[in-house]
Amino acid sequence: MQRLGMTNYRTRVLLIGGVLGALTGLGAAYLFMQSQQRRGADAPSISGGTLVKLGLLVFALLRSVGGLADGTK
């Protein structure tokens, strides 16, 4: 019976995390589009360096979230 409870817990955590991740991504895309419109740009212009920085920030965030369960910083 314990196994079934753990499966429900994992499913719930994955669903909540997925929904929160999707909403965060939509919010970020919306803010990016708004900043592009304010600048008057039709197409987004992102440099390779900016994409690398963004990728590293996302990786650091994921590492931090993964460390929450271990109690590490």
Query: Between residues 46 and 1, which one has the greater pLDDT?
Result: 46
Question: In this structure, how many other beta carbons lie within 10 angstroms of the beta carbon of residue 36?
Answer: 15
Q: Is the pLDDT of residue 2 over 60?
A: no
Calpha distance 9→15 (Å, rounded)? 10
5-61 pLDDT, tens digit per residue, is 667 888 998 999 999 999 999 999 899 888 888 888 777 778 899 889 989 999 998
Q: State pTM to two decimals.
A: 0.66
Helix (H) or strand (E) holding 17: helix 2-39
Amino acid, res. 42:
D
pLDDT at 52: 93
* Domain boundaries of the chain, sorted by first residue: 1-42, 44-73
pLDDT at 1: 45
Helix (H) or strand (E) holding 45: none
